[in-house]
A and B are shown apart, each in its own frame.
Chain A
Amino acid sequence: MDRLSFSEQCFIIQGIKDNIRNDARTRLDYRYFSIETGILPQTNGSSRLRLAGTEIVVGIKTEIGEPLKESPNDGRIEVSVECTFSTSERRSKEVLNQEITAMMQKIYSGGKAIDLTNLSILKEKKCWILYIDVLVLRSDGNLFDGVSLAIKAALFNTRIPKVQVVPGERSGEIEIEVFDEQQSEKINIKNVPICVTISQVSGFVVIDTTVYEELCIDSSLVVAIDSSSNLFGIRKYGNDGIESSSLIEIINLASKAGQNLHARLDSLLQFEEKNRIQNSLDLDFIHQK
């Protein structure tokens, strides 16, 4: 699905110009998304996001490791994003993996999105390492947004076990006692940003593009924004430039869209958290629509 015929492109662009897209949305409508958390029992936190045809699974594992020399007081977060073969062709898939991973890694290793000092166990010796593994099962466009939403949901679901540092048998050694699961702690996700991709198609601004629409866009701007309008990253893709006068407008639009998305995701997560306790787990996620 890497190419569209000229007439197909014209049809999509005309629809965007007329403010009615192929799935009856207007230019600034977002597709409904559903979220499930705690789907992978082996992980410390997990989530599955469905944004129309886009399906993303995130698993977060915690591990005790050693902090980096540059930041002895901080824990670490390692993000890896992998798109399955069905999402696109090989070369573009590799670029996509690399780009999404770089963006997410940059967001989470800054120490502002999640307070990394909270992940420290013992200064210079031991810290928690969060491995965030993202798997894109199917793609129907808008992967940056989808991945960031799914990661936020998984972080909401993540519990870090409570530990205590005790002196070892020999002098100078340390041991770490891990308490049982009931005493695990939540992560503060108040400052976690989500990405909003704003695309431009012949002068019109579009959000939440589908795969076909992504083949018609001139340029797109990915803006990572948290719930109090702080920016965590901006990247530009596409072959055309962006009017310098409209840049600030686009950022303001991204900020508004970001607020709405944060609010919707938060309410979904609260609802999900309540429901999950009542319902049993449903692991048959690959075959479901």
Chain B
Amino acid sequence: MQKVVLDGNKRLDGRSFQQIRHLYMQQGVNSRASGSAYIESGNTKIICSIFGPRQRKKKSGVKGQINVDFRFCSFANKDETLHKYASLNEKNIAFQIEQTVRTTLKIELLPKSEVDICVLVLQDDGSVLASSLNCVVLALVDAGFEIFDLVSSCQVIKIQNELFIDSTYKEEEESTGIVMISLMPSLSEIAHILQTGEISQLDMIEATKICLDGCAVVYSLIKDLEKLQVKRQIGCFRALPTELF
């Protein structure tokens, strides 16, 4: 374990155990979509576009429908067969994203309509689900949907007796258990939780705490971005001195 994922007391990329990677986020990358976002978490690169809401094709039912299309690019992984979410294939990850969006979005405001969410993983370097969910939320905000909260997600993995936050692909290969939590911080509610692999009850409690802390960090980053975005929008019509903003 020492050589594979650790360099002394630090991880291979120089982070400590409870430090997340640098996040780069951008909204409105796809001008043809009603909302889009791009996220880079270390080397994990994901783009998300949202189309709709538009009239439902199928007439049955009055509830709003969410269609999620999740794909890995053919060049996203080094080795496709060796994927940590092996049995969690594209379809399953799409279902997880749909579940989270259902919790976040005020779906009752979109009767008889459907929303298409397309997530494309350009490069996979671990924490794919958590990064995708962050990306989806940014795109939802960009599209102007009413959501309960800026859902922020984070992943913790267990390798032997250590817990690592925001894991890379290499670390995931060594892991025995994965915990992913999406938090709605201002409601302090959990929008989604997924755990796979084996993890003891005590470790799970510890991992939950670390995960929630990580979510809070991601939340502050997303919130800063949104504040900046709003400032930029207002900036176009600015008539007052900058200090007021």
Cβ-defined contact, B107 with A98, below 8 A:
no
- Per the bound structure, the CA–CA distance linking A18 and B177 in Å amounts to 39
Cβ-defined contact, B194 with A232, below 8 A:
no
| B187 within 8 A of partner (CB) | yes
Cβ-defined contact, A247 with B193, below 8 A:
yes
Cβ-defined contact, B190 with A233, below 8 A:
no
Instruction: List the A side residues contacting B193 at CB < 8 Å.
Output: 221, 234-236, 242, 247
- Per the bound structure, the CA–CA distance linking A236 and B177 in Å amounts to 17
**Also in contact, A235 and B103, with CB within 8 A (given A98-B95, A109-B86, A248-B205):** no
Q: How far is the CB of A71 from chain B (nearest CB, A)?
A: 10
Instruction: List the A side residues contacting B95 at CB < 8 Å.
Output: 95, 98-99
**Also in contact, A255 and B87, with CB within 8 A (given A244-B190, A247-B208):** no
- Per the bound structure, the CA–CA distance linking A282 and B190 in Å amounts to 47
Q: How far is the CB of B102 from chain A (nearest CB, A)?
A: 5
- Residue-wise, chain B 176-206 has the 8 Å CB interface mask toward A (1 for contact) of 1101000110011111111111111100110
Q: How far is the CB of A199 from chain B (nearest CB, A)?
A: 14
**Also in contact, A244 and B188, with CB within 8 A (given A105-B87, A230-B198):** yes
| A264 within 8 A of partner (CB) | no
- Residue-wise, chain A 21-61 has the 8 Å CB interface mask toward B (1 for contact) of 00000000000000000000000000000000000000000
Instruction: List the A side residues contacting B92 at CB < 8 Å.
Output: 98, 102
Docked complex: B83-111 residues within 8 A CB-CB of A: 86-88, 91-92, 95, 99, 102-103, 107
Instruction: List the B side residues contacting A69 at CB < 8 Å.
Output: 81
- Residue-wise, chain A 215-241 has the 8 Å CB interface mask toward B (1 for contact) of 000010100010001111111111111
| B82 within 8 A of partner (CB) | yes
Cβ-defined contact, A241 with B191, below 8 A:
yes
Instruction: List the B side residues contacting A180 at CB < 8 Å.
Output: none
Docked complex: A68-96 residues within 8 A CB-CB of B: 69-70, 95
Cβ-defined contact, B91 with A98, below 8 A:
yes
| A270 within 8 A of partner (CB) | no
Q: How many A-B residue pairs have CB under 8 A?
A: 93
Cβ-defined contact, A244 with B212, below 8 A:
yes
Chain A interface size, as a band, is 35 or more
Cβ-defined contact, A241 with B189, below 8 A:
yes
Instruction: List the B side residues contacting A203 at CB < 8 Å.
Output: none
Instruction: List the B side residues contacting A252 at CB < 8 Å.
Output: 201
* A79 nearest CB neighbor, chain B only: B87
A113, A237, A239, A252 — which one has the most chain B CB atoms within 10 A of its CB? A239
Cβ-defined contact, A251 with B189, below 8 A:
no
Q: How far is the CB of B149 from chain A (nearest CB, A)?
A: 9
- Per the bound structure, the CA–CA distance linking A55 and B66 in Å amounts to 32
* B215 nearest CB neighbor, chain A only: A244
Cβ-defined contact, B201 with A102, below 8 A:
no
- Per the bound structure, the CA–CA distance linking A241 and B189 in Å amounts to 5
B82, B95, B190 — which one has the most chain A CB atoms within 10 A of its CB? B190
Q: How far is the CB of A219 from chain B (nearest CB, A)?
A: 8
**Also in contact, A231 and B195, with CB within 8 A (given A236-B190, A251-B204):** yes
Instruction: List the A side residues contacting B198 at CB < 8 Å.
Output: 110, 112-113, 230-232
9 closest A-B pairs (Cβ-Cβ)? A241-B189, A234-B195, A112-B198, A229-B201, A242-B190, A105-B87, A236-B193, A102-B92, A244-B188
Subset of 20 A-B contacts with CB under 8 Å? A69-B81, A98-B92, A102-B88, A102-B92, A106-B88, A106-B196, A109-B86, A230-B201, A231-B198, A231-B204, A232-B197, A242-B189, A243-B189, A243-B190, A244-B188, A244-B189, A244-B190, A247-B190, A248-B205, A248-B208
The residues of A with any CB-CB pair to B shorter than 8 Å are 69-70, 95, 98-99, 102, 105-106, 109-110, 112-113, 219, 221, 225, 229-245, 247-248, 251-252, 255
- Besides A102-B88, A110-B198, 19 new A-B residue pairs in contact (Cβ under 8 A), listed by A number: A69-B81, A102-B87, A106-B88, A106-B196, A109-B86, A110-B197, A221-B193, A229-B200, A230-B199, A230-B201, A234-B179, A235-B194, A236-B99, A236-B193, A241-B103, A242-B190, A244-B212, A251-B204, A252-B201
The residues of B with any CB-CB pair to A shorter than 8 Å are 81-82, 86-88, 91-92, 95, 99, 102-103, 107, 148, 176-177, 179, 183-184, 187-201, 204-205, 208, 212
